[in-house]
Amino acid sequence: MNHKYTFLLCSCLLWVGVAVAGNPDRQGEAGANQLLINPWARSAGLHSMNTSNVSGAEAMYLNVAGLSRIKKMQINLSHTRYIAEINMNALSFGQRVGKGGAFGISLVSMDLGEFFSTTEDVPGGTGATFSPSYFNMGLSYSHLFVNKVSVGVTFKFVNESISNVGARAMALDAGVQYVTGENDNFKFGISLRNVGSKMRYSGEGLSKPRPSPGQTFEYPVTYYERSAEYELPSQLNIGFSHDWLIGKTSRISLIGNFTSNAFSRDQVGGGLEFTLGQNFALRAAYKAELGASVGSAEATLDNGLTGGFSASLPMKKGSDTRLALDYSYRSTAVFQGIHSLGLRLDL
């Protein structure tokens, strides 16, 4: 894959991103916004702005092109304590296949807790409870070419449901990363996320029994209401990073990113990451929402300060198998911030 085709792919992603991009006037028109919550502690410590250098199985969330930068196999487990006692759990698996290729699977679920069931006839509650289910699954493939260009694509299934009503959609993510510089210290990345079909709620929960409209016979008739369609929260990410090497194995990375959201304000930000060999990493970042100050009524929660760290140890001396602990904290203007904790196994 030469530079001509790399440029062509980047241009296509940019044009598609412009086509789906919107403005703040469309804010609130999309659904399935859980797709914009990063469940992975390592990249969440940089506020999901490492589009250019995210790697491994967690890259399937932000830029799937980074999936092919794993060595052999990687397994990630993560738990996120979101606001209002909402929990997110995620599992991802990445495996190298062939020469330069990598295949991955990601599973993400959100637990919103239990709610009391109410009806028009019993507004005070029927005594029953229900638990909403938010779930998405992704199947990904990424390929790393010899000239240090990687590309990838993810096919994603999205589901939102309760016991008697549900909505489903299929979505597509695509991304590209490019590495250059004398010591591979400059990286550039583009990713397009959550482009797919519209969602519409359907099921027995939208049915209502009504008396027969006829006057000759009396028999029950069930009417089904049609809910409105809504779109997925598409977004385009453009990022870069530059590494300053410290010795042979440590580095400091400067990261910048611009996010164009189709159904909310655009975002821009930057961050720093310091790595001490393969054993420790410390990171911090800040993201701003264009046209809305942090903590204002117009701003979303996906802005402000964030930070995190990673600690990685070999399973045994001289082995390439490593077990890592990742942690991140994202500050929020309301509630008490967002905590993410993850385990990562590199084989």
- For residue range 240-251, list pLDDT tens digits in order: 999 999 988 899
pLDDT at position 341: 97
Phi and psi angles of residue 261, each rounded to the nearest 5 degrees, phi first: -100, 135
Q: Is residue 124 situated within a structural domain?
A: no
The CATH number of residue 66's host domain is 2.40.160.40
pLDDT at position 11: 53
CA distance 44 to 50: 9
| Number of domains observed in the structure of the chain | 1
In terms of C-beta density within 10 A (0-12 exposed, 13-18 middle, 19 or more buried), how is residue 185 classed? middle
CA distance 337 to 209: 45
Strand 129-130, strand 186-196: pairing: unpaired
Q: Is residue 9 situated within a structural domain?
A: yes
Among 283, 307, 298, CA closest to 333: 298
**How high does pLDDT run on average in the chain?**
88
Residue ranges, the chain, pLDDT below 70: 1-25, 213-217, 297
pLDDT at position 24: 66
Among 24, 37, 111, CA closest to 332: 37
In terms of C-beta density within 10 A (0-12 exposed, 13-18 middle, 19 or more buried), how is residue 214 classed? exposed
- For residue range 83-97, list pLDDT tens digits in order: 888 999 999 999 999
Its domain, for residue 100, covers 3-118+130-314+321-346
pLDDT at position 165: 93
Q: Is residue 294 situated within a structural domain?
A: yes
In terms of C-beta density within 10 A (0-12 exposed, 13-18 middle, 19 or more buried), how is residue 320 classed? exposed
pLDDT at position 65: 95
Q: Is residue 11 situated within a structural domain?
A: yes
pLDDT at position 253: 97
Q: Is residue 125 situated within a structural domain?
A: no
The alpha helices in the chain, defined as continuous H runs, are 3-20, 41-44, 59-62
Phi and psi angles of residue 181, each rounded to the nearest 5 degrees, phi first: 100, 160
Q: Is residue 123 situated within a structural domain?
A: no
How much of the chain is in helix, strand and coil states, percent to nearest 5? Answer: 15, 50, 35
Q: Is residue 140 situated within a structural domain?
A: yes
Name the pTM for this structure: 0.88
